[in-house]
Structure formats: structure tokens, C-alpha cells
A and B are shown apart, each in its own frame.
Chain A
Amino acid sequence: MGLASLFFAGVLIDNFVFSRFLGLCPFLGVSRRLEAAIGMGMAVTFVMTVSSGTAWVAEHYFLAPFGLTYLRTIAYIIIIASLVQGAEMVLGWVSPVLQASLGTYLPLITTNCAVLGVALLNAQAGYGFWQSVVHGVAGAVGFGLALFLFAGVRERLELADVPPALAGMPVVFLAAGLASLAFLGFQGWAVH
């Protein structure tokens, strides 16, 4: 599978939110307003890209040589968490403005299931370094796309006349299910 097809497969066919059901808590938590959704999407893109690459390095230069691949999950968690923490410190020094726009979201998504999921899926599929990074970017873009689309849906839901029994979260879950059904249509695509 080429890098381009890997990218499109990751964004649409295997969308992290709508097909794999990963990262649902930030998806539902921050999709209320478009502005926050964009900030979250940027933060996720940053973290998932960096963590895919780092996880590959950790896998091939630390876990595999020592025969510790069964510790993959816990090792990835501490590596990614400290990496994000360090990146935030550096970001705060280099560009306080960028840090302010990403800063709120970075600690919130440190090793959420989508971020950890992309690293584990890379290891399971046996991707190379660049494949891992592209898959990470694709997953994050797919997550950002889902967040962006759904923020639009929710801004309209706020104004809709919802039956009292469904008001609030229930109707949001229904809408998320419908959006997921729409993305199911992409499953028919074959990517080479």
C-alpha cells in the first residue's frame, strides 16, 4: 500500500471516530463549538504525528531488541505522555501564542485512546517509519474532520426542537450514530 492510499484509507475508510470508534470522549466533549473543535483537531494532529514516529522508534530500538514487545501498551503510554509534556514546555518557550491555542487541549488528549490506538495499530500492522507517520497524520486528519463535521451538526442541534426525552446527550449520540453510518459507505472502497 502506497503512502497516499494509506493516507486516504486512514482519513475516510478507517476513520478513527466513525469506523474505529476511538477517541470518542474528546469527540463528544469538544465538538460543541466549531472554534474549540478546530483547536482540538490541531492538537490531535500534532500529538498523533509525533507519537506515531516516536512509537516506531521505541518499538524497533527498545522493545524489540530486548524482547519486551508484550509491554508495548504501558511503554507507549509513558513515552507518549512524557513526550507531549516535553513538547508543551518547548512550545511554551518557542511560541506562547501557539501554546495558548493548543495548550488547553494538549494535556487533555495525552494518550487518549485514539493517540494510543494509532501507535498500537502501527505496530500490529508492521508499518515502517514513514508509513507509521503517514498513518498517524491520516488518523489525526480523520479525527479532525469528524470533529469539524460534527461541531457543525451540534451547532444546529442546539437550535433544533428536540423531544424532551432526547434533549442533551441522547440526541448527540443518535446524530453520531448516523454520521458513523454515512462513513460506513466508504467501506466499499478498495484501496491499493
Chain B
Amino acid sequence: MEEMLTATGGLFVLGLLLGAGLELVNRRFPVRKEGKVDRFRALLPGVNCGACGTAGCDALAAVLARGEAGPRACPVGGEELAGKLAVMLGIAPAGEAAAPLLPVVRCRGGRVASPARGIYRGIGDCRAAVGTGGGGTACVHGCLRLGTCWEACPTGALRGGGDGLPVLQAAACTGCGICARVCPRNLIAMHPADKTVQVRCLSPATGAGVRAVCSAGCTGCRRCEKVCPVGAVGMTGFLAAIDDARCRLCGACVEVCPTGAVVRAFGCAAERERAGLSLTNQGGEA
């Protein structure tokens, strides 16, 4: 019994003394840093996992404060943290979380809509095809359907669809933009996920020129421009262009488009709202 009391009492006193000591040290030497680093540190998850490549959350906060890391530096925090960090870094305006960027493939010329002009037997890579004979697809502005973009995708968010065009699984996309960089025809653009009405054609050819090679391209008929209630649609040559800042996502242009070059993408925003789903967790056709 006495043994037990000595042990308990001894450890109790030891803990008490050390605790008091720490408190004294804390009063004598108060923490006097409350800067940028701490504000970043407060946002980070604090699990010190090291997945970002630094020694822990404190170290990443310091890197962020020096401006040497982007808002997606922490792989643990996900989109929510990326939004907050973007505001703190001054990349996104405060108050509203920035919509993540998703890749938009500006071509709908699949195997059916835009048949092949010949058989391409070269290296199975879009960049090689562009460098040699331009590949086997009929439209010289459209998708080569050789899959360089989805092979470059590090997360498998972009995959080959049945018609040969890349299909986006938005939930898996991290918005890294690698696909946009590897496409030799610049068909992929990184686009805010909440701007869901898009023109999916990049051919500057005339209406007849487009129709000769593709049944899904923009022919420059201007019906979308005329129907738009807010004047968000204009024309760049023979190609419709939507001003994202003005677009109210009403979808009137989508309905009048005769070829389906103007589409709703990433799933419909209004439907998603009704279902109460968040912007980033929703898969969608791309």
C-alpha cells in the first residue's frame, strides 16, 4: 500500500512540478510570433504527415508564407483547404471559394460525328501524329483520338470514351492541367467548374468547311448569339464564344444549337443544386 502511494504521489508531484515549470517558462518567455506563417499554419490539417514533401505542417506553412508553394500544396486538405489557401495567398478573391478548374475538351468530333479520312499507322501519340501527317481524323482542328491526354492524366480522371474522345470523371480530377499542356492542338482548356455552358469546338473553318468533316462542330450559324437573353454569346470568326462573366447558365443557347457544339458540361449546375451536391464531388460528361 505504501509502495503504491509513493509511486502515485511521486509521479503526481513530478508531473505537477514539470507542469508548473513549463507554465513559468511560458510566462517568462511568451510566444511572440504571430505572423503570416501562423495564419497559414492555422489552416493546415496539423497531422504532420509529410505528404507534401516538407517535414510537417509548420514547415509547409513557412514555405507557403514565402510564396514558394501553391494552394494545392497540401494533398490532405483537399479542395476545401485549397480554396482557403488560395484566398490567403491572394490568388482568389476573399469571401467566395474559388471554383476549381476542370479540363474542357473543345471538340465533340467522335468517330461517328467526324469519320476518319484515312488510317493512321504512325506512333500512337497525338503529338507524333501532328508532327508527321496530321493523324487520321478528318478535321485538322479537332481531336486526334489517340489518347495522349488521358495517358498523361496522373489520376485517371480523363479516360478514353467509346467514340474516341476523352471523357472526364470530374470527381477524380485534381485540376493539374497536364492534359491541357500535352494536347498538341490546344483543344483542352482549364475552365472554372461552375461555368457549365461551353462551346465544344475550336474549328475556325466556315460553316460549309466544318460540315464537310464533322456533324458536331460549330458552323457559325449565330443562333446562340441571337437567343442569348443577356448578350453573353458573341462570335469569333465562325466560332461561337461565351463570355463566362455574363453567362447566367440559362441554357437557351444549348437548346437552339443545331449541331450540339454548345453544351452543358460537368453535369448541370441547376440539377446539382437541387440534389444538394457539392461542385467538386460530381462526375460529369466532358
Q: Which residues of A contact B (CB under 8 A)?
A: 29-30, 32, 36, 39-40, 62, 66-68, 71, 74-75, 78-79, 82, 85-86, 89-90, 92-94, 96, 100, 103-105, 108
Contacts and interface: CB of A to CB of B under 8 A. Distances in A.
SS class, residues of chain B in contact with chain A? helix
Contacts of B270: none
Given A71-B7, A104-B59, A92 B15 contact: no
A100 B58 CA distance: 9
Interface of B: 6-7, 10-11, 14-15, 18-19, 21-22, 25-26, 29-33, 48, 50, 53-56, 58-59, 62
B242 to A, nearest CB: 45
Contacts of B15: 78
A93 B32 CA distance: 8
Contact of A108 (B6, B7, B22, B56): B56
A108 to B, nearest CB: 7
Contact of A105 (B31, B33, B55): B55
Contacts of A39: 55
Given A79-B18, A82-B18, A103-B58, A92 B10 contact: no
30 contacts: A30-B55, A36-B55, A62-B10, A62-B14, A66-B10, A68-B6, A71-B7, A71-B10, A71-B11, A74-B11, A78-B11, A78-B15, A79-B18, A82-B19, A82-B21, A82-B22, A86-B22, A89-B22, A89-B25, A89-B26, A89-B29, A89-B31, A92-B29, A92-B33, A93-B30, A93-B32, A103-B58, A104-B59, A105-B55, A108-B56
Contacts of B19: 82
A78 B6 CA distance: 17
A16 B7 CA distance: 31
A29 B50 contact: yes
A104 B56 contact: yes
B6 A66 contact: yes
Given A78-B14, A104-B56, A93 B29 contact: yes
Nearest to B59: A104
A105 B54 CA distance: 11
A62 B9 CA distance: 12
A78 B55 contact: no
Given A68-B6, A82-B21, A85-B22, A75 B14 contact: yes
Contacts of B22: 82, 85-86, 89
Nearest to B58: A104
Contacts of A96: 33
Interface centre among B7, B14, B56, B58 (most CB of A within 10 A): B14
Given A67-B6, A104-B58, 13 more contacts: A29-B50, A36-B54, A78-B11, A78-B14, A78-B18, A79-B14, A86-B22, A89-B22, A90-B25, A93-B32, A94-B29, A103-B58, A105-B55
A61 to B, nearest CB: 12
Nearest to B31: A92
A105 B19 CA distance: 22
B60 to A, nearest CB: 10
A66 B8 CA distance: 12
B108 to A, nearest CB: 37
A89 B21 CA distance: 12
